[in-house]
Amino acid sequence: KAGVTQTPRYLIKTRGQQVTLSCSPISGHRSVSWYQQTPGQGLQFLFEYFSETQRNKGNFPGRFSGRQFSNSRSEMNVSTLELGDSALYLCASSIDRETGEAFFGQGTRLTVV
């Protein structure tokens, strides 16, 4: 079956702009989590959605937001981009909310210039 699909794979944006990243989970998976991966900070948890509800949120500023649609697809948005937002953004889907076993996409590489 198809894996987790993230689009786009690469993005270059200018400081101050906003960006929207998309994630399509594995069919049947209702939980979607987002992570930011950087060389200095590693994998940082952004937020998790289950059945269109945000159930958990990491320690990121309000510029980072997300949502989940009824088909479980998820988007995350970053407004007023800063240079420090340059990172690999990973999406992970899970079939349920209990086990935590996650399947990751290839990620979206965001570069802010």
Partner 1 sequence: AQSVSQHNHHVILSEAASLELGCNYSYGGTVNLFWYVQYPGQHLQLLLKYFSGDPLVKGIKGFEAEFIKSKFSFNLRKPSVQWSDTAEYFCAPCDTGGFKTIFGAGTRLFVKA
Which one-letter DSSP state was computed for residue 83?
A: G
Closest CB to partner 1 among residues 85, 108 = 108
| Candidate residues 81, 107, 110, 112; the one interacting with partner 1 per rule CB under 8 A | 107
| Candidate residues 102, 108, 110, 112; the one interacting with partner 1 per rule CB under 8 A | 102
# chain residues binding partner 1, by CB under 8 A: 25
Residues numbered 43 to 82 that lie near partner 1 (CB under 8 A) are 43, 45, 48, 50, 55-56, 58
CA triple 109-59-51, angle to 5 deg: 75
CB-based contacts of 29, cutoff 8 Å, min separation 6: 72, 93, 94, 95, 103
- Bridge partners, residue 47, by sequence: 34, 57
The residues binding partner 1 (CB under 8 A) are 31, 33, 35, 42-43, 45, 48, 50, 55-56, 58, 90, 92, 94, 97-107
